[in-house]
Amino acid sequence: LGMSGDSALGHVAEECRSWLAASSQALVSLARKVFLPIGYPQSVTPNYISFVRAMSLQMLFSHISRVLATQAMLLAVGVGAKEALPMAAVTAWVLKDGLGHLLAI
């Protein structure tokens, strides 16, 4: 308790850095366990990351395409005002679909 103000502040800053380093390591470890296969990288072919990247981009653009198609369909059948109601419907649909995919992981 006999630390000066600068010394105490330096100690707190060092503890924060240590906590952040440990937290980031734990987060990376968790992400690897969740998203990478057991035994990675020995258990997969060399092009695994390229394949996963391509599939992820394909899924992203597929979802964007569905959102735009749904919005166009709602506008075409005359659902509500051009600005407000279709955007609310599409937002609700995206949230529902997005949460469904997220929870499926």
This model's pTM is above 0.75: no
Task: Note the pLDDT tens digit of each residue in 74-101.
Answer: 777 766 566 666 667 677 777 777 777 6
The reported pLDDT for the residue numbered 58 is: 94
Q: How far is CA 96 from CA 29, 71, 76, 86, 90, in A?
A: 29, 15, 22, 15, 10
* Chain-centre distance for alpha carbon 52: 15
Question: In this model, does residue 1 exceed pLDDT 90?
Answer: no
